[in-house]
Structure 1
Amino acid sequence: MDILFSNFNNLLSQIDDNFFRYLFTEIDWNQRMIAIKGPRGSGKTTLMLQRIKYGIKPKSNEALYFSADHYWFYTHNLVETTTTFYQNGGRFLFIDEVHKYPNWSRELKNIYDSFPDLKVVFSSSSALDIYRGESDLSRRVITYELPGMSFREYLYLTQGHNFAAFSLSEVQNSHSEITREVNSKLQPLPAFKEYLKRGYLPIITESNPETIPVFLQQIINTIVDSDLAFIADYNAGTAYKVKKLLGVLAESVPFKPNVSSIARKIETSRDSVYEWLTQLEKARLLNFLIAEGKGISLLQKPDKVYMENTNLFYALKENPEIGSIRETFLLNQLKNLKKEIRLPKSGDFLVDDLVIEVGGKNKDASQVKPPENYLIAADEIEHGFGKKVPLWVFGMMY
């Protein structure tokens, strides 16, 4: 196992404590088995290595991190590796990319049942349904989701300003205080425009900003060609059609999908389109919106389809429409808060009993016929007034 420890120690030496994703302090690290799901590039690997270096601070050989697609596992399995690790004093095991390992659920169950004082943390693609593996992990694993960065985290990472996170209720009722605090330290609008283009993933500090769209295209290819190939058993022909579907959607989202028309364009069946839409949504490449009053079920046509985040828009389309960018941003931030969002009869989004309409700086309530409980999320303003809230403030919620 020397090769696994060597690789682990090399990675650990490159980890610092300059920036922690918000989830770091929200995870109950005392649980015996923890799953961290999230899109590629969201910082799952760094999060686990930071936990080892700054949380556990383990003694020699007490902790081990590896990726489940390491070539070590061409000739070894997880249970065998864990047994050797445990017998040599190991008590904290961190497994990355677990969906790349064929028998992950069965072997994790065996590990959980065989080593009661071993703590296991593993990461996976967002598309993996952890509770539908070959073995029942529902009573054994606690799952956390790590989305891309909020605008608040982006400001922390790129400018060093660590503002508090605010609830949706605080945004609604105290946005003037929030904007005064932020504006006392920086001008938010230039940073917000940059965030919308390329600030959703932590790679912003590691890459030339101009190459980030190319990097995002590579992430899309990897999700479809690799992650979904493992999880949904795609072949090359299926992967090609799924990427073609994504390209069709990028040209027109947000929109109300005509599944029959899409199926004809990519020469497949309606059932395949429904299935692929669901998988792309689980993989955090799309977001869906269902009209208020409707139930939610698998293979149900969403009332509107969005790209999952605004950076994907800029990676897949040369000049995305600003109205689409604004709506995509707000839906993304609300979804990342685990809010249930519906498409209201009037307005853009319904969250609980709050209707939110999105627009530019001149947007007002006369255009939406709102109920009493509503907000206008207005772009291109630094300060709001009353029920008019700067759009960027909705990026300060996690």
Structure 2
Amino acid sequence: MDALFSQQHSLLSSLTESRRYLHDLIDWNHRLLGIVGARGVGKTTMMLQRIKDIYGFSDKAAYVSIDHPYFEAQPLFDFAESFAAYGGELLCVDEVHKHPEWSRQIKAIYDSIPGLRVVFSGSSILRMSAQKADLSRRALVHELHGLSFREYLLLAHQQEFAPLPLERILEDHVTLAGAVVQRIKVLPCFRAYLEHGYYPFFLEGVEQYPLKLTAVMGQILEMDLPLAASIAPRQIGKLKKLLYLISTSVPIIPDIAKLARMTGISRPSIYDYLEKLQEARLLRLVRQAGGGAGLLAKPEKVYLDNTNLAQALAQTPDPGNIRETFFANQIASALPRQRLVDEGLTVPARGDFLVQGKWTFEVGGKGKKQNQINDLPAGYLAVDDLEVGHGRRIPLWLFGFMY
């Protein structure tokens, strides 16, 4: 335990002061909290910041990572029991997905040690989803998304801006965009964000960013999917090819039969794999608007989860695909998910996206015309390569300020 606290002291001493958007949205007083999210989005930092904020370097709070050699011989429950007996109040457990029975251990701590608050985190959303049902009545589980464009500007350029609700962007985008461009050259920053700004580890070096991101994708495909989704290892190469094809294609309705032929994956398996890749936060599936049977149909559009994945997979990803991937990612990450089936972002009969069943958006380059939305009272253009818009033409980058 002394060695673990010594490591914790070192980690607390080197913490960054920048806070992720989720930090202020969590009810930290809840007895059992979970934070899930892709590798490298800042879950560990957020837990350590909470410890330092409330307890400083006191031994009343402990941070442990389940992959520490200590836990190969010592059950997590026994550690928690001993920690609480010596006055411990907050236990933060990182990388819980690496423990085969993590949910049973966390449940036992919650049920048997009522004076101890627990925060747990995991990077394999697939593997955590397989067990977290055991904690459904006990834990509040939050998902931490990658950096918004707004957060990237703070970390990369020390430019702090307040988050903007979608309604305010639609009502006052000219003033809001004008205030940003007075402080920063926004378009070059936006290009950089699309390439390497979604995961905070860009701060460790932009040159190594593609290699690290490729390693993250490899870990998800080669470890998480076979273990959590029962996907045979021989299929992993085909899934890599599927991701590459999606990154280089124009954003059109997917031709499942064509994808099956090109990847060698059967049509029934394609549907299942698309869903699993979305659960792993490598893909985003957007279904047709209207609810009902439409939500059960094949996806209308398939994107990579974020633009950085596309840049790591292909040297020349399709520009239109990149634009729509950014819009879908930032909108979906900012919208609260309150229902079992998410209908916040769908594909309408006209336009590229329908948001919350209210607003229609067409996404395109600077030359994009608005004839497709002229007769839609709640229709807007999200336009790339534009600093400040006018009317219903809104700069695409401004949708990155929503969280």
Range of TM-score over shorter length: over 0.9
Match of residue 284 from structure 1: 281
Match of residue 331 from structure 2: 334
Which of 313, 316, 331 is residue 316 of structure 1 equivalent to? 313
Q: What is the CA–CA distance in structure 1 between the aligned matches of 2:217 and 2:230, rounded to whole Å?
A: 17
Match of residue 15 from structure 1: 15
Q: What is the CA–CA distance in structure 1 between the aligned matches of 2:307 and 2:129, rounded to whole Å?
A: 30
Match of residue 348 from structure 2: 344
Deviation for aligned residue 1:264: 3.6
SS at match of 2:33: strand
The alpha-carbon distance between structure 1 residues 271 and 74, as it changes in their structure 2 partners (threshold 3 A), is: farther
Q: What is the CA–CA distance in structure 1 between the aligned matches of 2:54 and 2:43, rounded to whole Å?
A: 15
Deviation for aligned residue 1:126: 5.7
SS at match of 2:302: strand
Output one character per residue of 1:88-142: Cα deviation in whole Å (capped at 9) or x when no partner: 2222111111111100111111110011121111112362475652762111100
Q: What is the CA–CA distance in structure 1 between the aligned matches of 2:262 and 2:181, rounded to whole Å?
A: 48
Deviation for aligned residue 1:228: 3.0
The number of equivalent residue pairs is 395
The alpha-carbon distance between structure 1 residues 134 and 390, as it changes in their structure 2 partners (threshold 3 A), is: closer
SS at match of 1:143: strand
On the 8 A contact 1:255/1:306 being kept in 2, the answer is no
Q: What is the CA–CA distance in structure 2 between the aligned matches of 1:34 and 1:353, rounded to whole Å?
A: 33
The alpha-carbon distance between structure 1 residues 377 and 106, as it changes in their structure 2 partners (threshold 3 A), is: same
Which of 351, 354, 358 is residue 353 of structure 1 equivalent to? 358
On the 8 A contact 1:100/1:227 being kept in 2, the answer is no
Q: Which moved more, 1:268-277 or 1:103-112?
A: 268-277
Superposition RMSD in Å: 2.1
Q: Percent identity?
A: 43
Match of residue 341 from structure 2: none
Do structure 1's residue 251 and structure 2's residue 255 form an aligned pair? no
TM-score by length of 1: 0.93
On the 8 A contact 2:9/2:57 being kept in 1, the answer is no
On the 8 A contact 1:175/1:389 being kept in 2, the answer is yes
Match of residue 180 from structure 2: 182
Match of residue 162 from structure 2: 164
Unaligned runs of 5+ in 1: none
Q: What is the CA–CA distance in structure 2 between the aligned matches of 1:241 and 1:233, rounded to whole Å?
A: 15
The alpha-carbon distance between structure 1 residues 134 and 39, as it changes in their structure 2 partners (threshold 3 A), is: closer
Deviation for aligned residue 1:243: 2.7
Q: Which moved more, 1:121-130 or 1:66-75?
A: 121-130
Do structure 1's residue 293 and structure 2's residue 284 form an aligned pair? no
Q: What is the CA–CA distance in structure 1 between the aligned matches of 2:174 and 2:246, rounded to whole Å?
A: 37
Match of residue 73 from structure 2: 75
SS at match of 1:365: coil
Q: What is the CA–CA distance in structure 1 between the aligned matches of 2:293 and 2:20, rounded to whole Å?
A: 31
The alpha-carbon distance between structure 1 residues 362 and 245, as it changes in their structure 2 partners (threshold 3 A), is: closer
SS at match of 1:356: strand
On the 8 A contact 2:287/2:294 being kept in 1, the answer is no
Output one character per residue of 1:180-212: Cα deviation in whole Å (capped at 9) or x when no partner: 2112211211111111111111112211x2331
Deviation for aligned residue 1:240: 3.5
Which of 366, 382, 385 is residue 371 of structure 2 equivalent to? 366
SS at match of 1:123: strand
Q: What is the CA–CA distance in structure 1 between the aligned matches of 2:108 and 2:71, rounded to whole Å?
A: 17
Match of residue 119 from structure 2: 121
Deviation for aligned residue 1:293: 1.6
Unaligned runs of 5+ in 2: 337-343
Output one character per residue of 1:221-249: Cα deviation in whole Å (capped at 9) or x when no partner: 11222333443345532434433332333
The alpha-carbon distance between structure 1 residues 278 and 63, as it changes in their structure 2 partners (threshold 3 A), is: same
Output one character per residue of 1:317-362: Cα deviation in whole Å (capped at 9) or x when no partner: 1011211111111111001013601101111100121101111122
On the 8 A contact 1:198/1:212 being kept in 2, the answer is yes
Q: What is the CA–CA distance in structure 2 between the aligned matches of 1:5 and 1:59, rounded to whole Å?
A: 10
Q: What is the CA–CA distance in structure 2 between the aligned matches of 1:82 and 1:394, rounded to whole Å?
A: 43
Deviation for aligned residue 1:255: 3.3
The alpha-carbon distance between structure 1 residues 136 and 274, as it changes in their structure 2 partners (threshold 3 A), is: same
Q: What is the CA–CA distance in structure 1 between the aligned matches of 2:195 and 2:258, rounded to whole Å?
A: 30
Match of residue 6 from structure 1: 6
On the 8 A contact 1:126/1:284 being kept in 2, the answer is no
TM-score by length of 2: 0.92
Match of residue 385 from structure 2: 380
Output one character per residue of 1:15-68: Cα deviation in whole Å (capped at 9) or x when no partner: 131x111111111100001111111111111111111112332522x1111222
Deviation for aligned residue 1:381: 1.3
On the 8 A contact 1:253/1:306 being kept in 2, the answer is no
Do structure 1's residue 63 and structure 2's residue 54 form an aligned pair? no
